Structure 1
């Protein structure tokens, strides 16, 4: 969904010499367009966390059973993570703006129905529909970021903004969720999307230019295999903490995912227009970036889960206070997004990734020391501030490794691949950490299981550091081969 300037006027050389005067207008149009789609991305990201702190009130209001309440979160994650690859390829094939608008419309309408829900089944279905809409819209946003920039410096700045919105938006969702739950109703965690979605849909066509369609047969077999594999893996991981890692559901689901993944791999080598180009996975540095994203995103999502419970159950924070507790992380991420592009341009991705993953490891180890006698200052505040700074140093360089060097016509597929990896990483990390937490938990007490759980998130971040050292070596040349 790249932005194109308004058509330049043709004429004699003297007239064309005045063309620089037109550039600020074109640049302003592009900047407004980027801001519009990033607002949409922020909304999609908020929705993955905004309902977290409202879950107790949702359960009490609609009569959810304790075992079924988690599906308010899982339905969104399952649909979003399962369909991202498909959404990215649809944008490449049929036009990113068109698919973005369809996805955003689905997301907005389903948000309205979710806010009006009067039963658990209605809300869960609305959340699944939100996930479908988000999966169609989100890849187009990142594709825009990677194709609209005219040089590497511009691409780095755009990627930094996207990363800040993607990661910082999750923490901001907790703040907004606590705010609307405390002073209003949990239903506003759904309704808040409606005016934003309508506003973006009304403005997008004015400032965003549609991309050309890529001709050729659509890869239906690859689409079915990729979607089925992602859904099977995410579904298995979601249920693993409750059903057990050796249960038929977990092993069977992961097995189905593996079989469908193998079908996808064979199919993509044979079709002319694959859903996922094999070339995207032949670059060592891109694979390293995807692995880092998986590990770091898994540890971050797990931290949200653990810290929200700690500040509410042990420190007795209200929903609003629990959301505000994450402000240090949010501030750290957004502050570093301003300087990370320049740092990448000067030092490259590898030093920043090493420093960032080590910082994340330290922040999680710091959190593992919290106890019943700990206070928010400095135990939680300091560790979350360090986490935000380290995350700001990590996500943009990792994302640039994944999408760097990709041809514009395949940017949607690369975007879908990156965001699918994020969702799978979140599902893997949360499943592992919840299982570790449950193994050490004591009924009625949060802290005993939390120590090992936070150390597990630290282990994820440390593995990301090791991957950086082994797979993402310092280099002056392009971060990734063209695909």
Structure 2
């Protein structure tokens, strides 16, 4: 399970003698530097390939239906295994998990950077997600056991949170620079030297720590949730061939059944991967739902903006990266506003209004065309989308921890991050099918062969994606309005910290 910024975290409760030794504390700011670099790498890889994807698709001859697996494989593996990764890091050893996670991440990055076939790139991205699920909670736990002074811990996690929030923007810019001036492969290969330096530094500086007590793993739960989500995502991608196809229905039904069985197993497990009492709560449930919806937009829907910028508007990778920044900028602006307002007015007003603002932004994006201006049609939509998401994301991280017992705090913190990634994976799968359907329908109605017509078909697919994303986001407002009862005095004094 992932960790929460709190004195009551499981990691803090079970700090080993090595972790709290004077030598480790004396090097705490160097430890923070190592963890910060690692966190930046994890966050970068969620967005850095977005800008590179059009070039990678052309180079490896990836079909339109399959290309989103470059993003989906990472988000799915990361989200599905994040809770287990946190357990492993606590019980196996945080330093050991950190080093192994980094090494595995580097190997997967190298395989992806050298890929000669689509399946190799998909496999590598999935591998990155697997090792990120081990690496991210280990990094957060190391900070928790290293910084024992409340004031210094607040500073350390402020740095960590800033990187988590701003890393996406850096990824978009770096992805554009590497793709345009080097090659798309360097968006993955760049991780190798970074990891090499971080591993050497970690081996020399970081001390080992473990949690004690009951250290059993919920492997049946981990396998069931991974297979269930994987089957569900694959079923949605197969829906491109038709929702009534036997393969589509079979995978979707199998995914639902496996997830139901997962819930049954968790309810009877003595040491569950996901304590169901965390999820099924009137306040916390809407927060996890909102996080999943935010993931569908951030990971799924915005991916198609990259295609629109580079394929239709013919922007260079660098300009495409810059053109995507207003979303991140909007999130950062209202994230600060939400952090200040939530303790004064409570989380509900922010979580209710935020989705409405984002919906307006997405509706504006449905009006894009082949020859429309970025400044008049795209920019306003991106800014509103980001502003709305910022008002939603920050309060829901607090709401997700309301009333959570100390021993469940880490699992709740990890779940808010896992739901974001899983929502992104499911969103990318569903949006790919919607994109393909919109494009196909346009070509059937407009059979003329021309470049303008081909671009118009692409845009038709993109606008269908943005329209469905708007519907998803719109659902958050009534869910929050009717279910969330939390007041400002109910909020925890410290928020969940994003791990990726």
Q: TM-score scaled to structure 2, two decimals?
A: 0.80
Partner of 1:273, secondary structure, is coil
- Work out whether residues 116 and 187 of structure 1, in 8 Å CA contact, stay in contact via their aligned partners in 2: yes
Q: Is the 8 A contact 1:110 1:127 kept in 2?
A: yes
User: Mapping of 1:370-385 within 5 angstroms?
Assistant: 370-385=368-383
Alpha-carbon distance, 1:361 to partner: 1.4
Cα distance in 2 between the residues matched to 1:143 and 1:328: 32
For residues 10-159 of structure 1, what are the structure 2 equivalents within 5 Å? 33-34=31-32, 36-64=34-62, 68-141=66-139
Counterpart of 1:437?
A: 435
1:467 to 459, 473, 479: 479
Does the Cα contact within 8 Å between 1:92 and 1:214 map onto a contact in 2? Answer: no
Partner of 1:329: 327
Please say which of residues 96-105 and 173-182 is displaced more in the overlay: 96-105
- Which residue number in structure 2 is paired with residue 215 of structure 1? 214
Q: Deviations over 1:160-217 (max 9, x none)?
A: 8766645653444232222111000111111111233233334446367634234243
With over 3 angstroms needed to count, the CA separation of the structure-2 counterparts of 1:348 and 1:160, relative to structure 1, is: farther
Q: Helix, strand or coil: the match of 2:475?
A: helix
* Structure 1 residue 352 corresponds to structure 2 residue 345: no
CA distance in 2, matches of 1:362, 1:249: 36
Following TM superposition, by how much is the alpha carbon of 1:99 offset from its aligned partner in structure 2, in angstroms? Answer: 2.5
- State the Cα distance separating 1:279 from its structure 2 match: 2.1
How far, CA to CA, are the matches of 2:28 and 2:483 in structure 1?
35
1:238 aligns with 2:237: yes
Q: What CA distance in whole angstroms lies between the structure 1 residues aligned with 2:82 and 2:428?
A: 19
Contact persistence 1:74–1:238 (CA under 8 A): no
- Gaps of at least 5 residues in structure 2 are 4-10, 444-453, 493-500
Q: Which residue in 1 is equivalent to 2:422?
A: 424
Q: What RMSD over aligned residues (CA atoms) do the two structures have, in Å?
A: 3.5
Q: Partners of 1:402 and 1:462 in 2: how far apart?
A: 20
- CA deviation digits over 1:40-77, x for unaligned, max 9? 23322322332223233324434545555444334333
The aligned counterpart of 1:265 is 263
Give yes or no for contact 2:68–2:429 (8 Å, CA) kept in 1.
Answer: no
User: What is the CA–CA distance in structure 2 between the aligned matches of 1:6 and 1:314, rounded to whole Å?
Assistant: 55
1: CA distance between counterparts of 2:459 and 2:207? 49
Q: Which SS does the other structure have where 1:316 is aligned?
A: coil
Q: What residue number does 1:456 align with?
A: 468
Indicate conservation of the 8 Å contact 2:301/2:431, yes or no: no
CA offsets, 1:128-179, max 9 Å, x none? 2212111222344566788989899999998887666456534442322221
- Contact kept? 1:147, 1:411, Cα under 8 Å: no
**Cα displacement string for residues 54-110 of structure 1 (whole angstroms, at most 9, x for unaligned residues):** 233324434545555444334333433332232233234334443333222210122
Residue 180 of structure 2: aligned partner:
182
- The separation in 2 between residues aligned to 1:348 and 1:294, in whole angstroms, is 21
Displacement of 1:317 after TM fit? 0.9
The yes-or-no answer on 1:224 pairing with 2:223 is yes
Residue in 2 that maps onto 1:196: 194
Aligned partners of 1:465, 1:144: CA distance in 2, in Å? 37
CA distance in 1, matches of 2:323, 2:334: 19
| Residue 490 of structure 2, aligned match among 468, 478, 482 | 478
Question: Equivalent residue for 1:253?
Answer: 251
Residues 198/237 of structure 1: CA separation in 2 closer, same or farther (3 Å cut)? farther
SS in 2 for 1:264: helix
Q: 1:173 to 1:439 in 2, by over 3 A?
A: same
